[in-house]
Structure 1
Amino acid sequence: MEFIKSNIWLILIVINYVLALSGVITILLKKVNPTKTLSYIIALLVFPFVGLIVYYLFGQEYRKTKIFSRKNVLNQSITKKIQEGLELETTKIEEVDDLLDEKSKLIPLLYNSEKSKLTINNDVKIIKDGDKKFELLFEDIKNAKHHIHLEYFIIKDNKIGLELFDLLCEKASEGVKVRIVIDDVGSSISKKTKRRVEECGIEMHSFMPVLFSGSTGKMNYRDHRKIAVIDGVIGYLGGINISDTYVNANNELYWRDTHLRIVGEAVKPLQILFLTSFDFAFGDEIEVEKEFFPKHDCKENVPLQIAASGPDTDWSNIMEAIFVAITNASDYIYITTPYFIPNDEIVTALQVAARSNIDVKLIVPKTSDSWIAEYATNSYLERLLEAGVEVYQYCKGFVHAKTIVVDDTFSTIGTANMDYRSFNINFEVNALIYHKDTSLEMKQLFNDDLQDCEQLDMDRWVKRSKRVKLIEAVARLMAPLL
């Protein structure tokens, strides 16, 4: 005992490095992304104890083990019929080609991805801030007749959250079935509010609850989606969570975000996504009702694909769609993202596009809500500037929109940031829209945002201090851990 007492730190260090070396071997055998591998190895070997904690919380890989089972929902007959109905018949491909014009082959994955089928009969409304989103969403909830399904990374019971829960409890008392999935890391709801929600008859479940006894990897693989489905005919997705942070009427800091309201056929795959999440969070099999997929009378023809990615998908669907959109551009690529920590494939694609005389513009925040994400983002900008990409920093407030528009033909709005976590770790959902009028509207929004931006000057940017560049380099090295 005396030996242990007098050598306690030496013993702990030895134990630390035994566990760290075990972790290093495990990481190497997985043969994952070299940058991610190096980041975790450095964390384990250079930072005793802290490295182990980081690896324990963030470093476990679950994609291949499919922690997120989708069989219960997808195997039910009603769901199968809906999925089969979403299949494009060969005879209709020419009609789709006419709608998509020369960019009909923009995303070859359209006809191959089982989880991302193209729908035609849709009407969409682009929402550019939280105030308008909540106004529209609350009105749709008030008019709900059968069910209200909500899946959000962040729901907080502050002013706007309590207003939502008041409305949901009122609808539940009218006999409308309300189901909610919240992410256990992102959301913050008091026990009092949870008790009230349960007493109202609302079913609310946490996605992958984080417990000290079994939280390995659960800080990763979060449900970053923001989905609302009302009566199976109206759907919402985008960057706006349920929190006062997103309500500009209540904030000093202006929050610029983009959301999408959908009416039509694309609500069906969005509904399926919600049901699979609810089924997983519920822990028991949910019975799919035919009322979840009613007929709609939408006469508009906006081709739209709901693309989802996460540990339950074999491919990084959203990242691949963005990559193909960039590499198929012929005129311009306009990107807005709050966190730009891309993989090498995306960086190379943007560099090649810019060097091919394609107009490539990127909007990122001047000041981020995360200092380490801000420095990591800044570490990538010099390479883009050298290739001719125009980089703009948003100054009016914080830009949280996750949007891309290409060649007046393709645009995407969703939850996925241009970073490693959205591409490879979290559950995300984007709408891929193949429609000229929508693309032109998105282009105009982008140009409007440019009025509130500062363009980075290459000569001035490269003169950043060595201290700043060093911080950026360290932040970039930690990017796969963010």
Structure 2
Amino acid sequence: MQAAVYPWREGNQYRLMIDGECFFPRLLEAIEQARESIEIELYLIDSGLSTRQWIDALLAARERGVRVYCLLDGVGTDGFKTAERRELEQAGAVLRFYNPPSVLSGSRLFHRDHRKLFLIDRRIAFVGGTGITDEFCQPDPQTGTATWHEQLLEIEGPVVEDWVSLFEYEWQRVDERARPGLAAVRRGQVPPLPKAKSGQGRVAYIGAREQKEVVASLLAAVKRAEQRVWLATPYFLPSRRIRWALARAARRGVDVRLLLCGMTIDHPPVRYAGQRYYTRLLKAGIRIYEYQPRFTHLKTALVDDWVSLGSCNFDHWTLHWNLEANQQALDSDLAEAVAQSFENDFEQSDLWTLAEWKELPRSHRFKIRFWGQINRWVMWLFGIPR
């Protein structure tokens, strides 16, 4: 079965929610309001208070006769307690696990389902980068905000049908045991932009063997950019094509900004490895912001008024191995909300200048060289395009 390239759909409504203290109560509310079905595709679950609240909401849904289907990653849910899994299954929820590890996994172990999708009655979709963990979903008692900075997008309208289609496609093939190697990047055909600027949306995704059109969509958007290219990603290890596209846009006068992690990050070596690209990007005129208050897990692009938001990190590891999915949108209200979110985060970030970057201490430069070289070896070992 060939994976689809989804078209633009009109007549959609969006609601952007920022941080778990905002979006997690709304997600639980939507589950509580479900009457027919709940379908979830998720990478990360770690048992705790948030998981307990989520399970209780799903159990209550099952008591109402709501069908519950969960497609969960076999590695990302390692922290999901067996007793809690059984609790859901005994209540009639159907759980499937994507590519669970085994002694015969080999390099296929790295092939993960990194998508984050919640479908309620096949009428409402929630898309973003969150997992069901306390770091994402519970406010810190001292700050009142979640430990990890994240966004979740609520969607209603015709485009939800395509999210349902994508979920069904992966659900039906999750039990395939043979995944011999991974195909090279396929440059998917990106549908042309619609003329209307509100209510438009399409599903873009990465299927490591079938489809890479999220990348093609981003590159096409950057190429046509006239005013701004703002990109937020927690793990900045972009391919050469993405780096070149960003640099070319900056040189022709487009406002190109990167919102990246500061010192607070769950994988510090990734930050140092990605910083080896800073010098050339700064010389091209790109503004690089490192977010300071906490770990930012945002995966958002704003190119003029084109928005892409979801699970995709735009790093070369993600693009090579993972299943990802983003909502792309042309909607003036959503673009304004995303822009305001970026502006708020820029104000809480440190902006690097080329002069300051050249004054880095030797210890920091050593870490960049060391982890940059490790990253090059990993890419070479697994045949990941640069």
Shorter-chain TM-score range: 0.7 to 0.9
The corresponding residue for 1:162 is 52
Is 1:189 the equivalent of 2:80?
yes
The corresponding residue for 1:61 is none
Unpaired runs of at least 5, structure 1:
1-69, 75-113, 285-299
Equivalent positions of 1:277-356 (< 5 A) are 277-281=170-174, 302-313=199-210, 315-356=211-252
Task: Give the TM-score of the pair, scaled to structure 1.
Answer: 0.70
**Amino acid in the other structure paired with 1:310:** G
**Amino acid in the other structure paired with 1:201:** G
Is 1:244 the equivalent of 2:137?
no
Alpha carbons of 1:459 and 1:301: their partners in 2 closer, same or farther (altered >3 Å)? closer
Alpha carbons of 1:392 and 1:377: their partners in 2 closer, same or farther (altered >3 Å)? same
Q: 1:478: Cα distance to partner?
A: 4.3
**Amino acid in the other structure paired with 1:376:** A
Task: Give the TM-score of the pair, scaled to structure 2.
Answer: 0.87
Task: Check the 8 A contact 2:113/2:322 in 1, yes or no.
Answer: yes
* TM-superposition CA deviations, 1:21-51 (whole Å, max 9, x none): xxxxxxxxxxxxxxxxxxxxxxxxxxxxxxx
The corresponding residue for 2:116 is 226
* TM-superposition CA deviations, 1:343-381 (whole Å, max 9, x none): 111101111111111111111011221022111121111
> 2:31 and 2:105 mapped to 1: Cα distance?
35
The corresponding residue for 1:54 is none
Alpha carbons of 1:155 and 1:473: their partners in 2 closer, same or farther (altered >3 Å)? closer
Task: Check the 8 A contact 1:378/1:472 in 2, yes or no.
Answer: no
Which of 286, 289, 297 is the equivalent residue of 1:400?
297
Task: Check the 8 A contact 2:99/2:109 in 1, yes or no.
Answer: no
The corresponding residue for 2:153 is 260
Please state which structure has a larger fraction of its residues in helix: 1
Equivalent positions of 1:61-140 (< 5 A) are 70=1, 114-140=4-30
* TM-superposition CA deviations, 1:172-224 (whole Å, max 9, x none): 12211100011011112222112211111110111011112x21223222000
Indicate the structure (1 or 2) with the bigger Cα radius of gyration. 1
Which of 184, 203, 206 is the equivalent residue of 2:97?
206
Aligned residues: 354
**Amino acid in the other structure paired with 1:276:** Y
> 1:186 and 1:346 mapped to 2: Cα distance?
27
* TM-superposition CA deviations, 1:122-170 (whole Å, max 9, x none): 1110111122221111111111111100110012221101111111111
Is 1:171 the equivalent of 2:61?
yes
Q: 1:423: Cα distance to partner?
A: 2.0
Which of 286, 289, 296 is the equivalent residue of 1:389?
286
SS in 2 for 1:413: strand
**Amino acid in the other structure paired with 2:227:** D
SS in 1 for 2:106: coil
Unpaired runs of at least 5, structure 2:
178-196
The corresponding residue for 1:48 is none
> 1:478 and 1:129 mapped to 2: Cα distance?
36
The corresponding residue for 2:260 is 364
Which of 360, 366, 378 is the equivalent residue of 1:467?
366
* TM-superposition CA deviations, 1:409-462 (whole Å, max 9, x none): 211111000201222320000011112222122111101111110001211212
> 2:92 and 2:368 mapped to 1: Cα distance?
54
**Amino acid in the other structure paired with 2:300:** T
The corresponding residue for 1:90 is none
